[in-house]
Amino acid sequence: MELRSKSINPNVPLLGNTNYANTLSLFSNLNSTIANMSVNSSQLSSKISSLSNTILSSAENFSDPNWSNNGFQNMEEIRRLGKLCDITIMAQDHKYTAHRIVLAASIPYFNAMFLHDLVESKQDVITINNIDPIALEQIINYSYNGKITISNENVQSLLIGANFFHLKSIKNACCDFVKKRLTVQDALCLRNFADQLMCHDLVLAVNRFINKNFLKIAQTQEFLDLGHEELAELLRRDELNVECEEQVYEILLDWVKQDETNRIDNLYDLLKLIRLPLVAPVYLVETIGKEIMIRNNLKSRDLLDEAIYYHLLPDKRNNIKVFNLKPRCCNDAFGLIYVIGGMNSTGGSLSTVEVYDCVNDKWKVAESMVTSRSRVAVAVLQGKLYAIGGYNGLERLSTVEVFEPETKKWRRVASISKPRSALGSAVLNNKLYVCGGYDGFASSDTVEMYDPKNDKWTILSNMKKHRSATGITAFNSMIYAAGGHDGYRIYDSVECYDTQKDSWSFAAPMKTKRCRLGLAGLNGKLYAAGGYDSLNFLNSVEKYDPIEDKWEFVASMNVKRSRMALITCNSRLYAIGGYDGICNLNSVEMYDPEIDQWTIVSPMIAHEGVVGVGVLPFDINLPFPNETPLGSRKDASQSSQISFPNSKPILNNYYSLMEEEEEENNQFATIINPNSMLNQNNRNSN
């Protein structure tokens, strides 16, 4: 084949080679592709360079979250192997090796020692006195792993060690451990211990526990062994959880009699701390006045006389400077409100029980009663809940049953003398009293007292008036009966019962006549709330001052309530249920006396209308009431409604409520004067 010239004209075909044209075309395309790649490569290089500059202009941090933990774990392992340890800590005959750098970094005490040229910083062995060796070992281990086990056996030694080494975290953990496990037996000792170690939060917690459980602590040997100055500090407290000042006096008397020879000289100084003017006059004369130690002590007798004059000469009360007249009130003694019985939307009686937690504003269903009861009297005696009398839908009841929180069961006890509904109850001096009510024919003036020791009821002196649907409560060492009706008249009158004399006397009348009201005491004042006055359903509230023997109005409730329940719990008043003239109510509101204001709280989930209420003290050692929700009322528990829509409306201007037994209508006369009589159409009066 003849070779071509080195200069090839691409436009001239190669002679003798048919693929020449194709080859030439391939080379041409290749040259074009290479040229394009060169351009693209230049652009890509420019972009990469620009991107690189952007990346390099930012910082990227890396952190190993486990670095510190791993480091301390490794150091702990090195210590376990006995390597690189440069310090030995001794307590008694125990030796513990460690690393200075770890102790200095973890424990403030050693930090100050090793970094401030103290003598010990140069020593290889350091002796720690007055620290439990086991607690010291735990604290050294804690400096490596941040873990420590606190128990009843070691908490005291750990607290001492943590305080010595300035380890606030361990100190706080120990204090929290103790707070959760306070008992009546060790509270007084713990208070002194915490005070010595300057554990201020623990001291505060223990003091609050002592205030709340004062009556139980006063029965312990530790209390009886207190010095007179320690006792005086307790008796000065406003926050002691007592029902009446008489209890404080009796505790003082028991303390003196424990060592009468050496303590009788302290009687006068300590008796001044008892708020004698707040004691019932009869108790002052019949009990304190007859005490031999008082009678034989001239100064103490003068104190008693001054307290008696306080009651006899009201206009001279401002001149009394010796006594503290502020009623004691414990804000930490919270309880659970038990709501029992009542009626459903069709007028049937209920055995249902539910419980209100005031602190968490929650309701839960509890164990039902044995018997269905409406218009039932409820009282709490010696930590047990009593349901007395009432109406079961067919007949009035004389039966009584009691709920015991320990067993969470109801059981029957002795019955009252005759069947009654719409009666009232109160507890005073470990006795249960029931007053008035309706027996199916007339309102009653009967009063009975129950003694749980012998399970017997005793008939006492009758009230001055026949009363049903009245407010009954124990207040100021007396039993008060306010308002109510006798079937013809609604009362504004108030009478009180003296348990020492077994007699009733009148107090100042309320500003408004009321039946189906709520009555309760709070902070030395008596409150009457709601009710019905023959024309109107009431939301007004009035307060009684026993010293001035005078009533005055306070803030009204948000809702009109007749047939309501009023109860004191956690230094607040709670108005529960009732009837507003249109609907039965499941709503609840709370009264704060400091700001004179009512606030709506969570509604009941299992009741509406009239209910019986009582407060049981909350005991963390006892099981909480049944938490099973009531299936038929799930919607109600999620609602903030005030009344139930399925309740029957009022049909006229009088107090026509839900249908009840016909014989009760015969109690009421045809209304002649609305201001003095009840309406004949009243069907739910009792």
Q: Please, which residues have CB within 8 angstroms of residue 243's CB and are 6 or more apart in sequence?
A: none
Mean local confidence (pLDDT), 22-39: 51
Which residues touch 66 (CB under 8 Å, ≥6 apart)? Answer: none
Query: What mean pLDDT comes out for the span 259-284?
Result: 91
**Over the range 492-519, which residues count as b (16 or more CB within 10 Å of their CB) and which as e?**
bbbbbbbbeeeebeebeebebbbbbbbb
Q: Same structural domain for residues 582 and 522?
A: yes
Other C-beta atoms within 10 Å of 316: how many? 10
Mean pLDDT, range 180-184, rounded to an integer: 92
Residues 310 and 382 in one domain: no
- Same domain for 130 and 270, yes or no, is no
Q: How confident is the model at residue 459 (pLDDT cuts 50, 70, 90)?
A: very high
- In the chain, the number of structural domains is 3
100 and 127 co-located in one domain: yes
**More confidently predicted of 255 and 636:** 255
pLDDT of residue 671 exceeding 90: no
Tens of pLDDT, residues 510-536:
999 999 999 999 888 999 999 999 999
Q: Is the dihedral of CA 499, 505, 509, 512 positive or negative?
A: positive
The CATH code of the domain that includes 121 is 3.30.710.10
Q: Is 558 in a helix, a strand, or coil? A: coil
In sequence order, the 6+-apart residues with CB closer than 8 A to the CB of 447 are 433, 434, 435, 436, 459, 460, 461, 462, 463, 497
Q: Report the alpha-carbon distance of residue 142 to residue 139 in Å, rounded.
A: 5
Q: Mind listing the pLDDT tens digit for each residue in 486-502?
A: 999 999 999 999 988 89
pLDDT at res. 548:
87
* Residue 325: pLDDT over 80: no
Q: Does any domain span residue 262?
A: yes
pLDDT of res. 682 = 41
Domain-embedded: residue 13: no
Mean pLDDT in the chain? 83
> What is the reported pLDDT for 277?
87
Contacting residues for 412 by C-beta, under 8 A, at least 6 apart: 370, 399, 400, 401, 402
| CATH code where residue 313 lies | 1.25.40.420
Torsion angle (degrees, nearest 10) of CA 123, 124, 127, 133: 160
Task: Quote the pLDDT of residue 57.
Answer: 54
29 lies in some domain = no
Query: In terms of domains, do 490 and 634 share one?
Result: yes
Q: How many CA atoms lie within 13 A of 535 on its CB side?
A: 7
* Structure confidence by residue, pLDDT tens digits, 348-364: 899 999 999 998 999 99
- Six-digit token string for 641: 């409604």
pLDDT tens string 378-413: 999 988 999 999 999 999 999 999 999 989 999 999
**Per-residue pLDDT tens over the stretch 96-130:** 999 999 999 999 999 999 998 788 888 899 999 88
Averaged pLDDT for residues 234-246: 90
Residues 440 and 541 grouped into a single domain? yes
Q: Which residue has the tokens 């008249």?
A: 489
Residue that terminates a domain, selected from 205, 234, 262: 205
Question: Domain check: are 272 and 416 in the same one?
Answer: no
Q: Do residues 242 and 291 both lie within one domain? A: yes
Asked if residue 459 and residue 357 are part of one domain, the reply reads: yes
pLDDT at residue 655, rounded to an integer: 31
pLDDT tier, 640 (very low <50, low <70, confident <90, very high otherwise):
very low
Least confident of 194-208, 632-646, 666-680: 632-646
Does residue 5 lie in a domain region? no
Q: Does residue 653 lie in a domain region?
A: yes
Nearest to 248 by CA among 266, 264, 270: 270
363 within some domain: yes
Tell me if 88 is assigned to some domain.
yes
Lowest mean pLDDT among 66-75, 198-207, 282-291: 66-75
Which pair of tokens denotes residue 590? 């709370």
How far apart CA 417 and CA 458 sit, in angstroms, is 9
Q: Please tell me whether residues 197 and 244 are part of one structural domain.
A: no
In a shared domain, residues 272 and 174 = no
Same-domain pairing of 185 and 240: no
Asked whether residue 558 is assigned to any structural domain, the reply reads yes
Its domain, for residue 548, covers 335-667
